[in-house]
Amino acid sequence: MGLIGNTPLLEITKITAGLLRPGVRIFAKLEGFNPGGSVKDRPALKMIMEGLRKGELVPGKTIIDSTSGNTGIALAMLGAALGFPVELVMAANASRERKKIIQAFGAKIIYSDPLEGSDGAILLCRKIIERNPERYFKPDQYANENNPLAHFETTGPEIWRQTKGAVTHFIAGLGTGGTVMGTGRYLKMRNPAVKVIGVEPDDAMHGLEGLKHMASSIVPPIYHEEELDDKIQVSTEDAYEMVYALGQIEGVLVGQSSGAAMVAALKVARGLREGCVVTIFPDFGEKYLSTNLWIGWKSWTRDRLSHLLAKCKTESESVIT
């Protein structure tokens, strides 16, 4: 648990070569280096530790939450390390790797209808708890303020230190909203001029595991859109192509939400004269090799890159600087 956080910041230089003005740099925080494999280790740890501290999580209870994967993996890992049984509700179409990793930690999965998506998992989880409330501790990642607080206390300060206070733009995907809310609040506290930008899929029908199309979903109680300076929509296809490009050109294998974040970061950075743009890559790519993301992955070639980069420019005119 002491190994969670303090992840490295990678400057993105190959994909951006020749595209940005001299005073503009893009950095990505590699959250895949967390022990559970994703940024979710941070809020999972905070929510569990606060639950223990407050006496809400006590021996005999089972940890339960709805999650499509990364939070589930983090909770499964922590449950195993702390000796608590874990039950996770997720839609049956979560990737094979996620299911296996969670089960390898000893946690139990309850599957919800894939046609109902993550909102379906949220609702089923509520029902299960209602049947037997005493049995469960629910970290409640969508509503628990310890989720963004984890980022306020760790992700934000790390970015501030790693950029020596130079960060001008913070860009992250919107899922529960915790990363953007918590990190954004910290960075604005240190420098009110920092711009905080959320990234979401461009449509309710999308293939970006981990991200939420807010307008069509149950809005997480911890998410307060008014705190964002802007929100950028990214298409599933562009995010996937960016994953392929990051692998072959930048040398880092990441997941789909990282691809989306990078597309957004490029759109913002190309509209700037000066800036230190920091984004989050929530996890690495091995968990997705068996998924539909792979369909384009194996056949992608570098000549597709300029097509992708052109898209990241034309849309940058609408982004704030």
Partner 1 sequence: MPVQIRVPTPLRRFTGGADVVTAEGSSLREVLDDLERKHPGLRERLLDENGELRRFVNIYINGDDVRFLDNLSSKVKDGDDISIVPAIAGGR
Cα(321)–Cα(319) distance, rounded to whole angstroms? 7
**Residues taking part in catalysis:** 40, 257
Q: Which is nearer to partner 1, 162 or 202 (CB)?
A: 202
CB neighbours of residue 9 within 10 Å = 15
The DSSP code for 284 is B
Q: Is 291 in the site for partner 1 (CB under 8 A)?
A: yes
Question: Smallest distance, Å, CB 279 to partner 1?
Answer: 17
Q: How far apart are the C-alpha atoms of 181 and 179, rounded to whole Å? A: 6
Q: Is the dihedral of CA 95, 101, 103, 109 positive or negative?
A: negative
Measure the CA–CA gap between 290 and 297, rounded to whole angstroms.
11
> Which member of 203, 225, 274, 286 binds partner 1 (CB under 8 A)?
203
- The answer to whether the Cα torsion of 152, 157, 163, 166 is positive or negative is positive
180: contact with partner 1 by CB under 8 A: no
Helix (H) / strand (E) element for 293: namely helix 293-297
DSSP letters for 227-247 = G-SEEEEE-HHHHHHHHHHII
Question: Closest distance between partner 1 and the C-beta of residue 15, in Å?
Answer: 21
Q: Looking only at residues 24 through 83 of this chain, which bind partner 1 when binding is defined by CB under 8 A?
A: 40, 66-71
Site map (CB under 8 A) of partner 1, residues 111-150, x = contact = ---xxxxxxxxx------------------x---------
Stretch that binds partner 1, among 3-11, 201-209, 243-251, 271-279 (CB under 8 A): 201-209
Structure letter (DSSP) for residue 176: S
299-318: contacts with partner 1 (CB under 8 A) = none
CA distances from 15 to 26, 31, 90 (A): 10, 20, 35
Choices 14-22, 29-37, 224-232, 292-300; region in contact with partner 1 by CB under 8 A = 292-300
Each residue 234-263 as x (binds partner 1 by CB under 8 A) or -, in order, gives --xx--x---------------x-------
| Entry field: residues in the chain | 321
Token code pair at residue 114: 């894939």
Rounded distance between C-alpha atoms, residue 92 and residue 57, angstroms: 27
Is residue 91 close enough to count as binding partner 1 by CB under 8 A? yes
In terms of CB distance, is 206 or 267 closer to partner 1? 206
Candidates 207, 228, 229, 249; binder of partner 1 (CB under 8 A) is 207
Selected range binding partner 1 among 50-58, 84-92, 263-271, 301-309, rule: CB under 8 A: 84-92
Judged by the rule CB under 8 A, the positions of this chain that interact with partner 1 are: 40, 66-71, 90-95, 114-122, 141, 175-176, 203-213, 216, 236-237, 240, 256, 291-293, 295-296
